[in-house]
Structure 1
Amino acid sequence: MAPQNPRRSAGSRPATTELQPIDGMDVSMSEMEADLRQSTGLDHPDLMGAGMAMFLVYMYASIPNPPVSPAAPLASAVAARPPADGVDRISRLPDQILRNVVSRLPAKDAARTGALAARWRGLWLSVPLSVVDEQILPRHALTERMAPGGDTIWSRLAVAAASSALEAHPGPFRCAHLTRGHMASHEAEAKCWLQLLAAKGVQELVFINHPYPINSPLPAEIFSCVSVTKLHLGLWMLPSTAALPRSTRFPHLRELVLGFILMRDRDLAFLIERSPVLESLTMIARPTMLSLRLVSRSLRCVQVGMCGVDNITVVDAPCLERLFLWMSVPEKRSRIKIGHAPKLRMLGYWQPADHELEVGSTVIKESTKVSLSTVVPSVQILALEVQFDVRNDVKMVPTFLKRFPNVETLHIYSQGAGESKLDLKFWLDAGPIECVQSHVKKFVFQEFRGKRSELVFLKFIAERAQFLQKMIVMVSSSVHDVNAKLKPLTSAKWASEGCKLIVFKSSVPSNRGAPLWVFSMASDSSCRDPFGLETADGELNRDAYVLDHSSTL
């Protein structure tokens, strides 16, 4: 089932099973459960499968590739053949080289090298190890991650194998991906694992409670894993941070991903505060409304996906470059405040009707005048979601665009398939928009449905963007006779004579209801434009065709 935008349809919100009380929490489970159900509608029986399946797809996709793989091929067939004289030259290599070889193997293969020859015996215990429980399981068992349920034979196998590896090896661990165990049935093992990983210096930790239930308490030993540089947690209830020692911190943590974590805002603030080198923060499908206050000298990327957002306040984030919201679910109009963020370059996907913008101490309204104190000049890439058939959506678009005068790449995702009476006069009456007139070089319009209101906006951009080099129109799969629908663009008086109009059919189903998004790419600093996943520079969609706007379609 294709996911829908939760802003437009409650049917895509994640689902869960019945919650049970947990002793020792500083908040009653009934209170948390009420918040959870009210904000997400998780107890609706029709939502149980599709919502959770969608969330699981994105949560598992956000897991980084482990540094080892059981599928790695040999460099050549020649290397695989034994020498003709029967001499084992590999075993004669220096220890340092052999350790390097063993460290690149999955845990079970590393352990098996001890059977090759006496020279290899014990080597695997002297190298950093990678434990990835899904590499232990047969391929057909991996599809089980999309199914709810309790402990299974595969879960027990994964737990037993992980326990054996973590206990046998002295450490350190390059990475530990523990994602296949039904941890509600293995609470003692979960606690023991975190104790071992903390003592043995784990660097990359992915710890996911194989659903269900989602309210399993994460052992407090997680706060002892001070060596982690990457931490991914999924489907847990975070223990209260109120009683933790003041010295608690993650001094080396650079990447934090939280997938469907039950927690208070103050606990999230604690994690950020106690991670002094944290660069990337990702939250996926938080079950309660989010109120996020960003004070960090190190954060470079923050992304919030499939979460209910109350407010996000960037108080002091001098290194913040990317702030992303994707499929946010506001109960009411949420507020995003941008304070001190001098390096902020990328924003989106924002919804002008649902996200209220505050710059400095000024709440931006239609009547707010443009001034130095009400703009964010550092932003160069901006993405908006707009329902062109809803006047309240459209009327805030000019207001938003005026706050980002130096945008060079503008993405617009068209929501809905209705029609409005807004014409070109509406856009002209909005007054000068500096980024459109003087800075936008690349304009991407996603999910063009051929509606007049969409075409009017395209024409406005074409006739006002003096430095536009490329207009990319991604056509919805439901659009017929695209040439006829876009023909009015050829008669427009294009402000930029050298601009190319590029049209292609979107690979995303038109009923999907949300832009394409990949969390891992969005947080990767080498990805120059995470909003343009289908239009990477030099790799246009195979169905694309380039038009000279002065020619006839």
Structure 2
Amino acid sequence: MEKTEVAAPGPERPDSDGNARKRAGSSDRDRDCDEADIDLISKLPADMLSAIISLLPTKDAGRTQVLSRRWRPLWRAVPLNLDARAKLPGSQAYPHTVPVSAVSDIISQHPGPARRFSFTGFRAGDFDAEMESWFRSRALTKLEELHLCFHTPIDPSSGLPKQGQRLPLSALRSASTLLVARIVGCRFPHDMPSMNFPVLAQLTLVYVSIPGDVFHGLLSSCHALESLYISGVCGTAGRLRVSSPTLRSIAFRRWPSAKAAQLVIEDAPHLVRLLIPYGSQDGCVTIRVIRAPKLEILGPVFPVLSNLIVSQGISPVSSANWMSGVKVLALRSSGYALHAVLNILRWFPSLEKLYVIFRPHRYIEMDEEDDPQYDPLHPIECLQTHLKIVVFKSFVGHEKQVNFARFFVLNAKVVNGIEFELFEYKSESVAYQHQLLQVEKRASRGAQIQFRNQPARRDLDASKHIHDLSVADPFRNCQNWVHA
């Protein structure tokens, strides 16, 4: 029988190897695609999905209903976060806000409650009927945050806001549940009924007209108010009186074109911070503190034109106007009037941290030759015993700024650190600056002299920073205090 020879298997051809890899790779990709097609997010618990929706902008939150059957009912179950903005001629569009035309539909479809309602940019007379309907809807019954901003035209002859939209009283229908309220560009009615805000913690009033008795009644009705921001408020005969047993932070700014304004802190037993975020340089603002025993943080104050009055009852404390509890103080200066700064420092014997915010212009500060010398026989108490940190912001380094800073190097006896924030910091210039400042002769041998770049401007909306009570030092790394 003839033998049949079977050829031994030879090596596989190279293209066979390649084909095998392709098949394996294709299989892996198919498996990856299958896994990618699995909707893992939708398998999360409903409360986690609801938390995700609550963090989304209004438009995106509503769109989650089309993702799957699992998502469809969740938007209606999550507290409503509604951000609407009217499109004014020439204004830019905001992609994360909803148009006014959609507000009624959203409110009618959502059963409530609402966490936040922000309505911005509409003019007096626009949407009056719609607003009345919105605020009386079930969706906004238990509103927690209200941001109501009317477009406020400016009178070119006076530079002041024109008579604004009357505040619709229905906007405060959720007074019992409001935690945050920001009202801009409207007028409070003289016949405003008494209301009750048991949990309102943050209140912002900007460019509003409000009678003095209505303002007083509004504050009296806020039983948990912690922070108050007042900017450009008129209608109070130039004087705002504040009494509150709960307030911890107040910020005050007058309208730049307005006449003289006065803020009177009559009784604020828990007030810790009194802030002037865009303080006036023209002396038109007077702040009178009658009773604020826990006040620790103040400023920025312009020392030459400062109209800060500290009283007990109706009489000044003393010619020195001491504020013994203040620990942190911010001053504005261009470096030309050291005497004015020293006079201010005598008011604060327990001061621990001082910020000097240099300005680019002199305004009306005196020349150095008119500046009296510091008399060691009449020392300033905080320089002798308490001042630990001095920070010079917007330091340029010209001669008079250097002379100004040198005073603290040579006279602050217990200071731990003196910091200079420069717009253009160059490490090679440090030795030269040390020489100019006479660091080797510093009064406190343990003082550290530091130079660093000026922090970038962070938050242009001062009210956000003002209401953040978790910030222990509101002047640190925050440039919106510098630019008026």
For this structure pair, what is the TM-score category when the shorter chain's length is used for normalisation? 0.7 to 0.9
Residue of structure 2 aligned with 1:400, choices 344, 358, 370: 344
Distance in 2 separating the partners of 1:430 and 1:221: 64
Q: Bigger shift: 304-313 or 421-430?
A: 421-430
Contact kept? 2:59, 2:96, Cα under 8 Å: no
In structure 2, what residue type is equivalent to 1:326? Answer: P
Correspondence list, 1:143-162, <5 A: 145=91, 158-162=99-103
The structural deviation recorded for 1:323 is 0.3
The structural deviation recorded for 1:124 is 2.3
Contact kept? 2:114, 2:139, Cα under 8 Å: no
Q: Where does residue 293 of structure 1 map in the other structure?
A: 241
Q: Bigger shift: 85-94 or 440-449?
A: 85-94
* Matched residue SS, 1:171: coil
Q: Kindly indicate whether residue 183 of structure 2 is the aligned counterpart of residue 233 of structure 1.
A: yes
Distance in 1 separating the partners of 2:387 and 2:103: 52
Distance in 1 separating the partners of 2:83 and 2:104: 12
Contact kept? 2:183, 2:204, Cα under 8 Å: yes
Q: Where does residue 84 of structure 2 map in the other structure?
A: 133
Q: Where does residue 450 of structure 2 map in the other structure?
A: 502
Distance in 1 separating the partners of 2:460 and 2:84: 29
Contact kept? 1:412, 1:446, Cα under 8 Å: yes
Q: Where does residue 490 of structure 1 map in the other structure?
A: 438
Q: Where does residue 412 of structure 1 map in the other structure?
A: 356
In structure 2, what residue type is equivalent to 1:420? Answer: D
Q: Kindly indicate whether residue 272 of structure 2 is the aligned counterpart of residue 324 of structure 1.
A: no
Q: Where does residue 196 of structure 2 map in the other structure?
A: 249
Q: Where does residue 57 of structure 1 map in the other structure?
A: none
Distance in 1 separating the partners of 2:69 and 2:433: 74
After superposition, the C-alpha distances for 1:306-333 in whole angstroms (9 at most, x for unaligned) are 5456222222111111001133347755
Q: Kindly indicate whether residue 262 of structure 2 is the aligned counterpart of residue 311 of structure 1.
A: yes
Whose helix fraction is larger, Structure 1's or Structure 2's? 1
The structural deviation recorded for 1:281 is 0.7
Cα 1:440–1:86 shift into 2, 3 Å: closer
Residue of structure 1 aligned with 2:147, choices 200, 206, 225: 206
Contact kept? 1:113, 1:124, Cα under 8 Å: yes
Distance in 1 separating the partners of 2:88 and 2:383: 48
Contact kept? 1:459, 1:492, Cα under 8 Å: no
Give the RMSD, CA atoms, in angstroms. 3.9
What's the TM-score once normalised by structure 1's chain length? 0.67
After superposition, the C-alpha distances for 1:138-165 in whole angstroms (9 at most, x for unaligned) are xxx899657xxxxx99999611122221
After superposition, the C-alpha distances for 1:261-318 in whole angstroms (9 at most, x for unaligned) are 2333333322211111111111234467752222101111111235456222222111
The structural deviation recorded for 1:495 is 1.1
Distance in 1 separating the partners of 2:54 and 2:439: 63
After superposition, the C-alpha distances for 1:423-447 in whole angstroms (9 at most, x for unaligned) are 8862236821111221111101223
Distance in 2 separating the partners of 1:104 and 1:523: 21
Q: Quick one: higher RCO (CA 8 Å, sep 6+), 1 or 2?
A: 1
Contact kept? 2:108, 2:139, Cα under 8 Å: no
Cα 1:257–1:143 shift into 2, 3 Å: farther
* Matched residue SS, 1:360: strand
Q: Where does residue 550 of structure 1 map in the other structure?
A: none
Cα 1:127–1:183 shift into 2, 3 Å: farther
Contact kept? 2:113, 2:143, Cα under 8 Å: yes
Contact kept? 1:300, 1:319, Cα under 8 Å: yes
Distance in 2 separating the partners of 1:357 and 1:430: 26
After superposition, the C-alpha distances for 1:212-267 in whole angstroms (9 at most, x for unaligned) are 47522221222322121011122x22222x42333x12222111112222333333
Cα 1:105–1:388 shift into 2, 3 Å: closer
Cα 1:457–1:430 shift into 2, 3 Å: farther
What's the TM-score once normalised by structure 2's chain length? 0.75
* Matched residue SS, 1:347: strand
* Matched residue SS, 1:412: strand
Contact kept? 2:415, 2:447, Cα under 8 Å: yes
In structure 2, what residue type is equivalent to 1:522? Answer: I
Distance in 2 separating the partners of 1:364 and 1:331: 25
Residue of structure 1 aligned with 2:298, choices 334, 344, 347: 347
Distance in 2 separating the partners of 1:156 and 1:128: 17
Distance in 1 separating the partners of 2:263 and 2:344: 17
* Matched residue SS, 1:166: helix
Correspondence list, 1:156-175, <5 A: 158-175=99-116
Q: Kindly indicate whether residue 367 of structure 2 is the aligned counterpart of residue 426 of structure 1.
A: no
Contact kept? 2:339, 2:372, Cα under 8 Å: no
Q: Bigger shift: 459-468 or 304-313?
A: 304-313
Distance in 2 separating the partners of 1:463 and 1:415: 23
In structure 2, what residue type is equivalent to 1:311? Answer: Q
Q: Where does residue 190 of structure 1 map in the other structure?
A: 131
Distance in 2 separating the partners of 1:143 and 1:489: 55
Contact kept? 1:398, 1:430, Cα under 8 Å: no
Residue of structure 1 aligned with 2:74, choices 115, 123, 126: 123
Structure 2 gaps, min length 5: 1-31, 155-160, 480-484
Q: Where does residue 263 of structure 1 map in the other structure?
A: 210
The structural deviation recorded for 1:210 is 3.9
